[in-house]
Amino acid sequence: MHMNSLLKVENLQMHYFTSKGAVRAIDDISFELRRGETIGLVGESGCGKTSLGTSILRMPTPPGRYVSGKILVDGVDVIPLPEKEVRRNIRWQKISMVFQGAMNCLTPVYTIGRQMMETLNEHSDLPRSDAEDLIREYLGYVGLPPEIVQRYPHELSGGMKQRAVIATALFLKPEIVILDEPTTALDVIVQAQIINLLKKLKKQFSLSFIFITHDLALEAEISDRLCVMYAGKIVEMGSNAQIYGAQGPKHPYTERLLGATPRLFKKVEQLQFIPGTPPDLIAPPKGCRFSPRCDKAFDRCFQEEPPLIEIEPGHRSSCWLHQRG
Amino acid sequence: MTDIILSVKNLKKYFEPHQSFAQSIAGGGQKKLIKAIDGISFDIRRGEIFGLIGESGSGKTTTGKLVMKLLEPTSGQIFFNGEDVTHLGKEKLKEYRRKVQMIFQDPYASMNPRFKIKDVLEEPLIIHKVRATIEERTKMIVKALEEVKLTPPDEFMGRWPHMLSGGQRQRVATARTLILNPMMLVADEPVSMIDLSTRAEILHMMRDVQKELGLSYLYITHDLSTARYFTDRIAVMYLGRIVEIGRADDIIDNPLHPYTQALIEAVPEPVTGKIDIIKELPIYGEIPSPANIPKGCRFHTRCPYAADACKDEPEPELTLDGEEHYHACRRAYEVQAERKKKQAV
């Protein structure tokens, strides 16, 4: 275990048990989050990145259930803990989450202040006046005026709502914040403003982030390390410099995904794309899960599933090409 | 025949906000109009892909709806193929809508889930009373499916929408527009709900169809990166006005309006070395409400280059600066100089 390890996920499997069979949404995933670091989880929709986020928060969406593996927070596995203890010590206290589309899930009939107060009451015993002060204090940190507490969601812009949601995720002083597509519904300028805010807050409160998005370009702005997910698995792991630097990613999926990301300052005749669709996770293909869409696949890819292979220190990729010589 | 297919002249669309009875008495009937579109003009050439770029609240979708004749303009004119189509009767409107078709943003909501793909594609033929035998109609459907590369067409015709991926649905949506042999397509964020890995595939398909059939597109988006790749010319909208218009490459490589510059600066690029940098954005705050448009240049409240004249003097009009490149900024030269200075540091 790394010295500064804050969260460690070990061989986690979480499946959705549907009437058609078990959907293997998270299928043997291991990674580690270090103190003060941002890890990016990136992949297409349906690759399991949001499922991984909610699983870490010990709240897989029904019918999802843990199948095996561990989630170690400060060395303690949280999966077998009783719900009461998770609520008291882990969820929101230690790990909080900004859910995808959370800003559009604010109740229209309550003021922002009341909705923030609800979260606070649920998790702490602060007297009312202290709680109100705390809310105002945190609104200040995210760049909102204190009067916002009396406003209703429809009176705020998307960016302001997202700031309020971020404040709500922070005021119980968690060490880890999971951010699930926190800027997807926002305009590009507001997105850049929110990314700047997150960078500032991370330093100010010594936070560690798990940043989930489908946008590889956005991950480049914020993530120290990246986990590229495909069909319930991590297919490539590397530092920001290893993935976005001169040598580039090593897994064919990451390569293709980066090629499909439109670049503003690079004029291309033909944008790349990845033909086909991600596999059915009830009955994933034999061998490498990306093999049916991969133009570099050879015999072995269709037979055996590749493990994550270390290419250089800190850079791993699950592709048989690396062992082909 | 002119080489201009669609011409929009000084188009305006104001909305009246909802008011309670008490408000209408207290306000003395003085309603604050929401100026969604506040005087825009542009031309789309035959066979051109014209991009309309802007943030939410800029009026780009309202413009699309006005062009589609889903909304009546408050004032101004729309010409299509040389004909004034600003106000049309029922019959003429139907004819117009056959020539100008729309592709919607959400491929999951734009199709009846109880219709097979064949029915989805046949519906426009029924609505527009295209007289044809069943065989002829089937032929038309097959042709449309082939044009959007959904092959084999026979197989797709029998499927239900839920059996298709987002990308395949957007192909069906395109096929549905093509079946009536339109001259122009209005596409409002056609790929924003599609996975990144297949987004390019849909754009390729749309461009192939456009080239093959000689169509014109009005492509509405907030995404500058796909606009650069996909469009010939771009108009940038801010708060109901066009602030810059020109060839796609000129707009991205040499933006003249400070708002366009801010939009470009804000786009994330997948390159390393930016984690510890707080990006300095050449823009303040958020977009004001279209019910409360600032006096003078409407961008001056957010503009880091604004001078007194921008606040006090009337709004600048679009002026030509370079080949086919128009901007609405009175301080464009100073802004360019300051920007170059900053970039050099």
CB contact under 8 A, A275 and B201: yes
Cβ contacts from A onto B, under 8 A: 132
Q: For A114-134, what is the mean pLDDT?
A: 91
CATH topology of domain B4-270: Rossmann fold (3.40.50)
Confidence grade of residue B29 (pLDDT, cut at 50, 70, 90): low
User: What is the Cα–Cα distance from A38 to B125, expressed in whole angstroms?
Assistant: 54
Extract the tokens encoding B161.
């929408």
Task: Tell me: pLDDT of A3 over 80.
Answer: no
- Provide the mean pLDDT of chain B: 91
Task: Tell me: pLDDT of B30 over 70.
Answer: no
Place of tokens 């698995």: A233
Tell me the residue length of chain A. Answer: 325
Give the number of other CB atoms < 10 A from CB of residue A119: 17
Q: For B150-176, what is the mean pLDDT?
A: 91
Rg of the Cα trace of chain B? 22
Question: Distances in Å between the alpha carbon of B315 and those of A227, B150, B288, B328?
Answer: 49, 49, 16, 8
* A142, A193 Cβ separation under 8 angstroms: no
User: What is the Cα–Cα distance from B13 to A88, expressed in whole angstroms?
Assistant: 54
Q: For B98-107, what is the mean pLDDT?
A: 91
User: What is the Cα–Cα distance from A271 to A276, expressed in whole angstroms?
Assistant: 16
User: What is the Cα–Cα distance from B288 to B283, expressed in whole angstroms?
Assistant: 13
Show which residues on chain B lie within 8 Å of chain A, measured between beta carbons: 55-56, 165, 167, 195-201, 203-204, 222-226, 228-229, 249, 252-253, 262-276, 278-279, 281, 283, 286-287
CB contact under 8 A, A275 and B165: no
Chain B, nearest residue to A243 by Cα:
B272
Helix (H, G, I), strand (E, B) or coil at A65: strand
Place of tokens 């890890």: A39
* B36, B14 Cβ separation under 8 angstroms: yes
Task: Tell me: pLDDT of A137 over 60.
Answer: yes
Q: Is the pTM of this model over 0.80?
A: yes
Of the listed ranges A72-76, A102-106, A150-154, B41-45, the one predicted with least confidence = A102-106
User: What is the Cα–Cα distance from A28 to A13, expressed in whole angstroms?
Assistant: 5
Q: For B154-177, what is the mean pLDDT?
A: 91
- φ, ψ (nearest 5 deg) of residue A23: -90, 115
Task: Tell me: pLDDT of A15 over 60.
Answer: yes
Pick B2 or A235 by higher pLDDT: A235
Task: Tell me: pLDDT of B31 over 80.
Answer: no
pLDDT at position B340: 85
To the nearest whole angstrom, how far is the Cα of B194 from the nearest Cα of chain A?
9
Helices B117-127 and B134-147, interaxial angle, to 10°?
Answer: 120
Extract the tokens encoding B242.
């066009």
- φ, ψ (nearest 5 deg) of residue B181: 50, 60
pLDDT at position A325: 63
* A316, A235 Cβ separation under 8 angstroms: no
Of A321, A273, A292, A274, nearest in space to B226 by CA: A273
The closest CB to that of B266, out of A157, A191, A262, belongs to A191
The closest CB to that of B266, out of A189, A260, A274, belongs to A189
Classify residue A243 as exposed, middle or buried by CB count within 10 Å of its CB (0-12, 13-18, 19+).
buried
The closest CB to that of A44, out of B197, B222, B278, belongs to B197
Helix (H, G, I), strand (E, B) or coil at B110: coil
Question: Distances in Å between the alpha carbon of B236 and those of A50, B67, B161, B321?
Answer: 34, 17, 35, 15
Which residues are registered as beta bridge partners of A16?
A23, A64
Percentage of the residues of chain B whose pLDDT score is greater than 90 = 74
Chain B, nearest residue to A256 by Cα:
B197
Which residues are registered as beta bridge partners of A23?
A16
Task: Tell me: pLDDT of B51 over 60.
Answer: yes
Task: Tell me: pLDDT of A1 over 60.
Answer: no
Task: Tell me: pLDDT of A124 over 90.
Answer: no
Chain B, nearest residue to A201 by Cα:
B278
pLDDT at position B108: 84
Q: A92-113: b or e for each residue (b if 16 or more CB lie within 10 Å)?
A: bbbbbbbbbebbeebeeeebbb
Q: For B229-233, what is the mean pLDDT?
A: 94
- φ, ψ (nearest 5 deg) of residue A195: -60, -45
DSSP-derived secondary structure letter, A88: I
The closest CB to that of B200, out of A190, A223, A260, belongs to A260
* AA letter at A27: D
| B152 upstream amide cis, omega within 30 of 0 | yes
The closest CB to that of A260, out of B197, B222, B278, belongs to B197
Q: For B331-344, what is the mean pLDDT?
A: 86
pLDDT at position A30: 96
CATH annotation of A5-94+174-268:
3.40.50.300
DSSP secondary structure string for all residues of B205-237:
HHHHHHHHHT-EEEEEES-HHHHHHH-SEEEEE
To the nearest whole angstrom, how far is the Cα of A158 from the nearest Cα of chain B?
10
Helix (H, G, I), strand (E, B) or coil at A195: helix
User: What is the Cα–Cα distance from B102 to B88, expressed in whole angstroms?
Assistant: 18
Q: Which of A104, A183, A188 to mutate to test the interface with B (most CBs of B within 10 A)?
A: A188
Confidence grade of residue A135 (pLDDT, cut at 50, 70, 90): very high
Q: What is the pLDDT of residues B185-210, one digit of tens each?
A: 999 999 888 888 888 889 999 999 99
Confidence grade of residue B28 (pLDDT, cut at 50, 70, 90): low
Task: Tell me: pLDDT of B235 over 90.
Answer: yes
Helix (H, G, I), strand (E, B) or coil at B95: helix
CB contact under 8 A, A262 and B228: yes
Of A32, A30, A34, nearest in space to A12 by CA: A30
User: What is the Cα–Cα distance from A69 to A9, expressed in whole angstroms?
Assistant: 8
To the nearest whole angstrom, how far is the Cα of A293 from the nearest Cα of chain B?
11
Q: What is the pLDDT of residues B253-269, one digit of tens each?
A: 999 999 999 999 999 99
Q: For A69-83, what is the mean pLDDT?
A: 95
Chain B, nearest residue to A44 by Cα:
B195
Percentage of the residues of chain B whose pLDDT score is greater than 70 = 97
Where are any strands of DSSP class E within A200-243? 208-213, 225-230, 233-239
Q: For B237-250, what is the mean pLDDT?
A: 96
Complex ipTM value: 0.89
* A235, A41 Cβ separation under 8 angstroms: no
* A209, A202 Cβ separation under 8 angstroms: yes
Confidence grade of residue A263 (pLDDT, cut at 50, 70, 90): confident
Task: Tell me: pLDDT of B21 over 90.
Answer: no
Confidence grade of residue A285 (pLDDT, cut at 50, 70, 90): very high
The closest CB to that of A196, out of B249, B252, B278, belongs to B278
Chain A, nearest residue to B167 by Cα:
A277
Of A41, A57, A130, A140, nearest in space to A93 by CA: A57
Confidence grade of residue B22 (pLDDT, cut at 50, 70, 90): confident
User: What is the Cα–Cα distance from B191 to B269, expressed in whole angstroms?
Assistant: 19
